[in-house]
Structure 1
C-alpha cells in the first residue's frame, strides 16, 4: 500500500462526499497535516502500519487517525456542524462518505489502493490548537487493509 495515495484518496472521499448545511460552505480536506486550515477542514494525520499480518507480505493493516476541525466563532453552532460530520449516517457524515469509497461488493477500496477500509471509531471530541488558532474538533480512526 502507498501511504500518500491512500491518504489523498480518503481526503478526496471526505471532500466530495460530505454535504454540509446551506451557509456553511464546503468541507476542505487534505491527505496531509496542513500548515493552515480553512474550516471546516478534514485532514489525515497519524499513520501506523502493522506489517506482515499474513505470510509473504500478502497483508498489511494500517490505522489512520484523521482530524476534523471546525471554526469556533460560535461554540454551539460549531459543535452542531461537527456533530453532523461525526454522525454515522446522513449527508454530512464523514463515516458514510469515507466508507462509500470502499466500492461495490467484490471491488477493491479507494479505487484499488487497498483491499478494504472501515471507520472504526471517533475519539478526542475537544478543543484543538492548530498553528496558534483554537478549533473544536474530533478524530476519526480508519482501519485499512491491503497487500503489503
Structure 2
C-alpha cells in the first residue's frame, strides 16, 4: 500500500460529512497541518505492521487521526464534536469513512486497500496545536492491504 495515497483517500472520505447548519464545512487533510481552521479532520501518525501474510501478501496500517471541533469552551462546540463522533448520521465520521470500504467484494479506498475500519475514538479532550487549544478527539483507523503494492 502507498501510505500517502491511503492518507489522502481517508481524508477524502471524511470530507463527505455534513455538519449542522451554521457550522460550515469540515476541512479534511491527509497530513498534519502547521495551522488549522476548525472544524478540521487530519490523518496523523501511522504505525505499520508488515508481513501479516506470507510473501508480502498483507500489511496493516494503524492511523491515528484527529478531529478538532473548535476553541470555544461551550456546549455548541461539544455538540459539533459529538455529532462527528456519533456512529451514524450525516455528520458521522465513522459512517463517512467506512462508506469508503466499497460494496462487498470491492476494494476499499478506491482500490488502494483490501479493507478499513474505524475502530475507536480515544482522547476526547483539549488539544494544543500550533500554540492554540482546541476541543477534539483521536480516531483509530485500521487499514489492511497488499504489501507488494
**What TM bracket, shorter-length normalisation?**
over 0.9
Structure 2 alignment gaps of length 5 or more: none
Q: Which runs of 4+ in 1 moved over 4 A?
A: none
| Residue equivalent to 2:9 | 9
Distance 2:66 2:26 in 1: 12
Counterpart in the other structure of 1:32: 31
Alignment correspondent of 2:64: 65
- Following TM superposition, by how much is the alpha carbon of 1:71 offset from its aligned partner in structure 2, in angstroms? 1.1
**How far is the alpha carbon of 1:89 from its aligned partner?**
0.5
TM-score, length of structure 1 as denominator length: 0.98
Cα RMSD, aligned residues only = 0.6
Structure 1 residues not aligned, in runs of 5+: none
Q: 1:74: Cα distance to partner?
A: 4.1
> Deviation per CA, 1:7-47, whole angstroms, max 9, x where unpaired?
000001101x2000110000001000001111000000010
Number of residue pairs matched by the alignment: 147
The whole-number CA distance in structure 1 between the counterparts of 2:84 and 2:29 is 16
Deviation at 1:76, TM superposition (A): 1.2
